[in-house]
Structure 1
């Protein structure tokens, strides 16, 4: 699986686990809601700085965005 797809899948999963809509996540991160959607649909790839900002809002380690399915804790 491409890294962009892994990040997109994890972003959606982590956002939903945190009970946030795309709009809420974007607002808290100070970015455009459309950008969050584009990341989740793999239309854009996030910079390291953006992953750090999103991780801070979600309360996670940014490395979690890069974990493939077989690396996630059970």
Structure 2
């Protein structure tokens, strides 16, 4: 569960730095807002493809989300 918590924290940090709502991030990544909410709460495991979509939307590398 450690990696899910780390991902949740990093997604939230990068999203807030852009001043985006969860809905805006979801729109930019082509994902559903509730999915982003679940990721940020570490309540949902996600695929590598979804993490890549989130990273691209945020303008960061895949590795930065897990660093």
TM-score interval for Structure 1 and Structure 2 normalised by the shorter chain: over 0.9
CA separation in 2, counterparts of 1:46 and 1:12?
A: 15
The yes-or-no answer on 1:59 pairing with 2:59 is: yes
Match of 1:50 in 2: 50
TM-score normalised by the chain length of structure 1:
0.85
* Other structure's SS at 1:10 match: helix
* Other structure's SS at 2:51 match: helix
Larger Rg: 1
The yes-or-no answer on 1:18 pairing with 2:2 is: no
**Number of corresponding residues:** 67
Is there any run of 5+ residues in structure 2 with no aligned partner, and where? none
TM-score normalised by the chain length of structure 2:
0.93
Match of 2:6 in 1: 6
Match of 2:34 in 1: 34
- Return structure 1 stretches of 4+ with deviation > 6 angstroms: none
CA separation in 1, counterparts of 2:48 and 2:61?
A: 12
Is there any run of 5+ residues in structure 1 with no aligned partner, and where? 68-74
Q: CA RMSD in A?
A: 1.1
